[in-house]
Structure 1
Amino acid sequence: MRSKIVKYIFKKEMIDILRDKKTLFMMIVLPIILYPVLIVGMTQVMTMTMNSMNEKDIKISFNTTPDKDLVNIINENKPKEEKKDGKLKIVDVGNYEEALEEQKIDAYIKIIKDEKIQNYKIYVNSSKENSNIASNKIEDVLNEYKRDKIENKLEQENMNVKETLEPISFETVDTAKNEEIAGYFLGQILPFILIIGVLLGAIYPAIDVMAGEKERGTLETLFTLPITNLELVIGKYMAVSFCAIVTAVLNVLSILLTMVFIATSGGLASQLGVDGFNFGQLAIPIFITLICICLFSMVVSAISMCVCSLAKSFKDAQNYITPVMLLVMIPSYVSMIPNIKLNRMTATIPVVNISLLIKSVLTFKADLNLIVLVMISNLAFVILSVILLSKMFNSEEILFGNNKSFSFLEKRCDIKKGTIPSVSDGVILYAVGLVLLIYVGTLVQIKFKIIGIGLTQIMIIALPVLFALYIKSDLKKIFRINIPSFKSIIGSILLWMGGFIIVQVITQGLLYLFPQNMEVVEALNNTLFIKDKFLMNLFIIAVMPAICEEIFFRGFIFTSFNRSKKTVKVAIICSGILFGFMHMDFLRIVPTSILGILFAYSVYKSGSILTSMIMHFLNNGLIVFMGHYPDNKLIKMSSFIELNFNESYITKLAILLAISAVLVLLGIVFLKEKKNKLEAYTD
């Protein structure tokens, strides 16, 4: 690779990027004005709004004439600390509900007289602006009235008021420094804001250097030059990364300058509780944050370029990049979740590691080993993304192919051979199924419980079957309805046995790392099974999913993704991952995805969906059996899978994993047919 050529490509791309006003706005203008407006502007607006609300008089009404002492306290209620707070005013109304709705009064007090005590009920309309202020002021007045009554009673009994009402005194002392308080506050919201800022700074340059180049018709010209694809990729990548890094630096500087402004503004600093702030304490955290954000910018740049390379025009690229934005934005919220901290596991998860690292360094709780692990993992993601990008640049089909847009619900005319669903058909049908499962399936399962699970399974199988009939497909061909050989059945069972052991170990590991999920598992088991109805549970939880879910995933989804011999591996992995995500449970996503991949592999090798149905039935059937017969000897023998990390356990775990590896290898050997039926379908 020639550095001089890369430099020229970089220079050319930067000139093109800087010509785009939208990119300049997202890269420079937005970071500079965003944080002062958000932090300073919104704080001042909220302060002025609250002050104006506090200055308003609060109108109240009673159902009966209140006590004279209470009226005197209301009339003598003066603003505290010379603030222009509003006063309480007593007015008469008829229907208090209408008066509250029409804001003729802000609160209505109902006095319920008893023989010994008086009860006061305060009615407010929380949908109106002054309801909270009215409620707080009335409670203060009633507390003062109550205290006066108590003091008068004690004085009549010749008792010491202070000793009786205040036998002890206490005071809470906050030992946190202003820097720590500010770091904690920034650690909650800053990661999300920075990640979004970097994302916006990388997206528009990526769209311009990829889809924009295609739309202008200049990408073909670049490929005619005496340069290699790697030189072209690196030059473009450096330009996009540079823009993203500049955006990241401007974001950090803008936040820092905003904090300086707040700290030097007496009134605003006191309102936010950051007066006397020492910025020297945050120098190292901000420096580490800057380095991490720059690495993250490089990852986002490569991913954005990969996605934009699939688009033919600027408009298409904007549509393609939207899912990427969602996938990045959602994990960045993790900094706002109190119980999730940076550890060895979260330090390797993209986006999550950056968000938690920024939070940890700003709250002065960062571990040097974890910081290094985050940086290494992000550097690895950068290398992998660049490798993927270079591979995509070597594909003329990706760069200059037709790139047909998604087609759905379109009839195909190839009736003789039978229409094979496209990738877009599979993706959209999966999305439709996921939406129906969330909005319809959940409600049905809540209302009908285990019967609802059966109804959900019927919905799952109906979607692919009806769509396949609509596009006039060969159902036997799409859903791989063939009789497998005895050897394939044995191989599938062995493959499932090995996979089941691995899945159980992974599940126990996740429970060890996240013990709070044990309650979710127990609640799920309680709702799944009907006591003393083994056959019914077996049919709904094992038989129906083995048929319905396999038709959906290993039938329609797998077929739609498997367009040729080159895409078989992608189809196996994607159908398995989509199968895992369909279960929508953090604890089950990874284990279920692994099982889904094994199911798809058995279908691919055997050419029959019946093998995956057998595997699915055995997996769910064993779970039903374990739920009904927990005292069975075979069930008790599996208890040593639970993690405790002593020497005895590690030895057992090694033996267990060795057995599972042998079973998986035997399954692969048995499934290896001389002629692959599935390849014959796709060729």
Structure 2
Amino acid sequence: MRFKMVKTIFKKEMIDILRDKRTLFMGIILPLILYPVIMIIMTQIMTMSMGSIEEKDINIAFEKNPSKELVSLIENQTDKNTERINIVTTNNYKKDLQDGNIDAYIGVKGKNKIENYKIYINSSKENSSSVNSKLEEIFTIYKDSKVKNKIEQSKLDVKETLNPVVYQTVDVAEDEDVAGLVLGGILPFILIMGVLLGAIYPAIDSMAGEKERGTLETLFTLPISNLELVMGKYMAVSLCAIVTAILNVVSILMTLVYILTTGELTGQLIFGSLKLSSLVFPLFITIICVCLFAMVVSAISMCVCSLAKSFKDAQNYITPVMFLVLIPSYVSMIPNISLDRTTSVIPVVNISLLIKSVLTNNTNLGLIALVFISNFAFVILSVIILSKMFNSEEILFGNSRNFSFLEKRSNIKKGTIPTVSDGVILYAVGLVLLIYVGSYIQLKFKMTGIVLTQVMIISLPILFAFYIKSDFKKVFSLKLPKFKHLLGSGILWIGCYLLVFILTNIIMYYFPQNQEIVEGLNDALFIKDNLLLNLLIVAVMPAICEEMFFRGFILTSFKNNQKSYKGAIIFSGILFGIMHMDFIRIIPTSILGISFAYAVCKSNSIGVGMFMHFLNNGFAVIVTHMSSKLVQNVNSSELTYLSISQISVIFIISLMFISLAVLLFKEKKKEFKEITE
């Protein structure tokens, strides 16, 4: 790679980016002007609203005339505070509370010399909480004065009687730690959003913009390699993202300085006597983290934008990426989740938690190094993928057709094979329906809801295939499997099941709280003492319906090109795992999905996938049914974890079964060509 050529491409890209007004706005104007204006305006609004609440009069009404002592106490409280408490009369307290004529109504009852009061408020009113707190404070003082009088009449020591035990809470947290906790929950999300905005528009202009302007073809005529071209563009996009990230940090820091120095009420409440000098090291680490993350986002954005043919298409493609990046950044706002060996290698999550940890002075050099290494690995991986995509003329200059369901059915040729776009759309529709419809009917109708969900899952690919006039036999691999393939699929399932068993045990070891989720799922999915019905609903139906969806339509759409059938196996398996929407099951289920897809591809029969799916779910049903009877009289349900030696033995056995299955599925080149065709 010639760095001189990379430098030339870099300069050219920077000139193009700086000419784009949208990029300049998102990278410079937004962080320097919009963020400070928003934060200052919100602070002032909060200050004014707090002041207006304190200045507003409080109108209360009593059911009966209150005691003179209570009235005197209310008048004294009014003198001490800026708000005025007025005692008014009402004929219909419910209507007056609803209309806002009174803020509270106090019912008065007395029994055996005990005064009994009920405070009626309308919680739909904005000041109801402060009114209730103020009245409770008044009645507490009134009660204490009555108790004090009773004790004095009994000639007892008031202080000793009322306060026999004295305790005090001492907060040893420094102002820097408190401020860091507040900033650590909010700052990661703001910074990640800023990095996204700083990387997305340069990436769109550098990739889709070049295609739309017709200048990308010209660049390929120059005597430069694809890697040199990619690196020049990548350096330009990364620089824009890094500059935007730094400007975001500086902008937020200067805004905090302004809020603190101007003595805003909200700033004083949140940050107190915070010394900004104490945040120098955390901010330095934060900037480094964000810059490294910006390089990852830049590469990912360029990969996605390289698939687009125009600026508009790139904006549509990049929207899901924004959601996938922004959603994990919320993890900094979730309590009890901190940076550890597991979270430090999860993209986005590790950056968000690292920023939170350095701001709260909970830094660990080992974990920081792990975050840096993992993100550096992501950068290298993203650049490699990007360079591979640049080597594909079909990706850069291909003219793939649009989603077939948007076309008129009369324009579609008979025997159409679904494309990757069709598969992605079907999966997205299925996922949305499963979340919004499937979860509701399963919660409401239990086992009947599971049946209806499976019917919905199988209906989607069948209707889609009918609409685009597909050949059902080819799309769904409708062919009787050979005995050899059935035997191989059974052996493959045993090997993958053992592998999944190991992974599940490891996951449960690090996340034991998920055991309750697993038990809850078992209770929800299975009908007690009805093995046949459980097998039918949990094993047979998913084996047919889910296989038609994933190893039928989805897998066929992904392996439309023979060169990518391995990628189709992997991606369809991962999508299968994600569809189960459970953290502890995603990785194990993805492995099973990959094994199902491999067997279907090698045998060209969906019956093999159905057989493996039935074995997996049926085995789980039988084990659950038998264990529920065995543990009825057992009190302990603690998990027993595998030792390293046990894991090693099971892993070796698993590999042996998988290897044997691969041999059984192995076909001669001529036979494989017939299968793939």
TM-score by length of 2: 0.95
Q: Does the 8 Å contact 2:345/2:371 carry over to 1?
A: yes
- TM-fit CA distance, 1:596: 0.6
Counterparts in 2 of 1:443-482, with a 5 A limit?
443-482=440-479
1:219 equivalent to 2:216? Answer yes
The SS at the match of 2:513 is helix
The SS at the match of 1:49 is helix
- TM-fit CA distance, 1:430: 1.4
1:621 equivalent to 2:618? Answer yes
Aligned to 1:176: 173
CA distance in 1, matches of 2:48, 2:411: 69
Aligned to 1:672: 666
1:586 equivalent to 2:580? Answer no
1:366 equivalent to 2:366? Answer no
Q: Does the 8 Å contact 1:411/1:470 carry over to 2?
A: no
Q: Does the 8 Å contact 2:70/2:142 carry over to 1?
A: yes
- TM-fit CA distance, 1:209: 1.0
1:600 equivalent to 2:597? Answer yes
Aligned to 2:651: 657
Counterparts in 2 of 1:440-589, with a 5 A limit?
440-589=437-586
Instruction: Spell out, residue by residue over 1:179-206, the C-alpha distance to the aligned partner (whole angstroms, 9 max, x if none).
Output: 1111121111111111111111011111
Q: Which amino acid aligns with 2:655?
A: A
CA distance in 1, matches of 2:272, 2:60: 38
CA distance in 2, matches of 1:327, 1:479: 31
Q: Does the 8 Å contact 1:6/1:232 carry over to 2?
A: yes
Q: Does the 8 Å contact 1:408/1:428 carry over to 2?
A: no
The SS at the match of 2:78 is coil
- TM-fit CA distance, 1:58: 0.8
Counterparts in 2 of 1:192-271, with a 5 A limit?
192-268=189-265, 271=268
CA distance in 2, matches of 1:484, 1:416: 29
Q: Does the 8 Å contact 1:445/1:452 carry over to 2?
A: yes
Larger mean Cα displacement after TM superposition, 254-263 or 518-527: 254-263
Larger mean Cα displacement after TM superposition, 395-404 or 305-314: 395-404
Larger mean Cα displacement after TM superposition, 146-155 or 597-606: 146-155
Taking a change above 3 Å as real, the CA distance of residues 333 and 575 of structure 1, as seen in their structure-2 partners, is: same
Larger mean Cα displacement after TM superposition, 54-63 or 27-36: 27-36
Taking a change above 3 Å as real, the CA distance of residues 175 and 321 of structure 1, as seen in their structure-2 partners, is: same
Q: Which amino acid aligns with 2:644?
A: I
Taking a change above 3 Å as real, the CA distance of residues 666 and 116 of structure 1, as seen in their structure-2 partners, is: farther
Q: Does the 8 Å contact 1:607/1:678 carry over to 2?
A: no
Q: Which amino acid aligns with 1:214?
A: K
Taking a change above 3 Å as real, the CA distance of residues 95 and 398 of structure 1, as seen in their structure-2 partners, is: same
CA distance in 1, matches of 2:589, 2:140: 58
- TM-fit CA distance, 1:451: 2.3
Aligned to 2:33: 33
Instruction: Spell out, residue by residue over 1:605-654, the C-alpha distance to the aligned partner (whole angstroms, 9 max, x if none).
Output: 01111111111111111111111112899xxxxx9x96647xxx211211
CA distance in 1, matches of 2:427, 2:618: 25
Q: Which amino acid aligns with 1:15?
A: I
CA distance in 2, matches of 1:416, 1:301: 40
Taking a change above 3 Å as real, the CA distance of residues 273 and 564 of structure 1, as seen in their structure-2 partners, is: closer
- TM-fit CA distance, 1:679: 5.8
- TM-fit CA distance, 1:207: 0.8
Q: Does the 8 Å contact 2:405/2:467 carry over to 1?
A: no
Unpaired runs of 5+ in structure 1? 634-638
Between Structure 1 and Structure 2, how many residues are aligned? Answer: 673
Larger mean Cα displacement after TM superposition, 39-48 or 313-322: 39-48
Taking a change above 3 Å as real, the CA distance of residues 622 and 644 of structure 1, as seen in their structure-2 partners, is: closer
Q: Does the 8 Å contact 2:62/2:105 carry over to 1?
A: yes
1:141 equivalent to 2:142? Answer no
Counterpart pick for 1:118 among 115, 136, 145: 115
Q: Give me the CA root mean square deviation.
A: 2.3
Q: Which amino acid aligns with 1:660?
A: S
Counterparts in 2 of 1:625-640, with a 5 A limit?
625-630=622-627
Larger mean Cα displacement after TM superposition, 4-13 or 67-76: 67-76
Aligned to 2:323: 326
Counterparts in 2 of 1:396-475, with a 5 A limit?
396-408=393-405, 410=407, 418-475=415-472
CA distance in 1, matches of 2:188, 2:504: 30
Q: Which amino acid aligns with 1:6?
A: V
CA distance in 1, matches of 2:432, 2:39: 37
- TM-fit CA distance, 1:276: 3.7
Counting aligned pairs with the same residue, the percent is 63
Aligned to 1:636: none
Aligned to 1:17: 17
Taking a change above 3 Å as real, the CA distance of residues 643 and 43 of structure 1, as seen in their structure-2 partners, is: farther
Taking a change above 3 Å as real, the CA distance of residues 409 and 677 of structure 1, as seen in their structure-2 partners, is: farther
Counterpart pick for 1:340 among 334, 337, 341: 337
